[in-house]
Amino acid sequence: MKKALKKALFIDRDGTLIVEPPVDMQVDSLAKLEFVPGAISALKVLRGLDFELVMATNQDGLGTDSFPEEDFRIPQEKMLRTLAGEGVLFDDMLIDRTFESDGAPTRKPRTGMFGRYTGGGYDLAASYVVGDRATDILLARNLGARGILLAPPAEGLRTLEEAGAADACALITDSWSEIAEFIRRGERRAEIRRETRETQITVRLDLDGRGDFNGQISTGLRFLDHMLAQIAHHGGVALAVDARGDLDIDEHHTMEDVAITLGEAVDRALGAKAGIARYGFALPMDDCRALALLDFGGRIDFEWDASFRRERVGDVPTEMFRHFFHSFACAARCNLQISAHGDNDHHKAEAVFKAFARALRMAVAHIPFDYTVPSSKGVL
């Protein structure tokens, strides 16, 4: 499996994490140190997601007579100790010391001090810049990231429109809790492309069922299209699948690679898996009894107890149903157990997909206001 790119949250300091003094705009003493309401609680949530936390701040003239190093260091260290006591640690801190008049390439919104993140190891399109000024949103545009402006919505929109930066902003809010929830929900979606000599597959997925792409499913196998639509509907997810495969040879490569790509999309969309139910099971209807047991605990296992009398259901070989779900389990890094019994092979196959969909719906469900990893080990 191709190694996933890292993601980052680039977070401004003054006016975003801590209150910016209105008189001199400089936090140069402990008396001036005050956290923005809701910032610490939100950072605790964001720390549990699949992002690196990076503080990125302009500190005008730091180290000069106008802003001595010691005046900055004391409140800065106090701020970091307070955050660490709440379990919030920054992976990196980027501090530009120049004045705006210097026009330095390292000063936000320029990207000179972000070289570590622009070299290809980070998925900047899936990363965010959070700040209270238009320059932070312009930085997001320059990085190719998504911007979040911490400001009253009406006032913030006017500011961004004046700066010509409104198009680079994904959210304007004066609530840190809304920022945390927005980022968390945005992480529960993925787009995965897989290209081999036999197939070209694209899967788009949103675990919360949001997305105008839902239902755009085309694999070249009509019965598989029908079953994937059942996963979307009964799983409560938004799903789009575009598959081009060597069906002139047989169905194997297409079904296998669709399952692998779907599994990778689920695994990517779950991220750190904080706050999910983790387990799912279902017993659907029809004249067949089907059972699906699912655990996104990170340990791969697969059990299958279903047989078919017919060689094909529609245009799909029945032997491929087992292989489809086995491939999914390996790609999604989950434990999946499926059994089905009944007389009608069409109903049996459909019951299996519906049972799987319902199990998926239960397992990926987010428990409101719970951002813990569902494991006694603290990690999945």
The catalytic site residues sit at: 12, 14
Please name every residue paired with 146 in a beta bridge, in sequence order, or none if there are none.
Answer: 128
Q: Are strands 128-131 and 146-150 parallel, antiparallel or unpaired?
A: parallel
Residues recorded for the chain: 380
How far apart, in Å, do the first and last CA atoms of the chain sit?
18
CA 36 to chain centre: 25
Report whether 261 contacts 39 (CB < 8 A): no
Structure tokens at 283: 């017993």
φ and ψ at residue 191, rounded to 5 degrees: -130, 120
> Among residues 69, 67, 80, 1, which one has the least CA distance to residue 33?
80
Count of CB atoms situated within 10 Å of the CB of 84: 11
Q: Tokens 């026009």 — which residue? A: 103
Report whether 290 contacts 284 (CB < 8 A): yes
Q: How far apart (Å, rounded) are the C-alpha atoms in residues 120 and 226?
A: 38
DSSP H or E segment with residue 172: strand 169-173
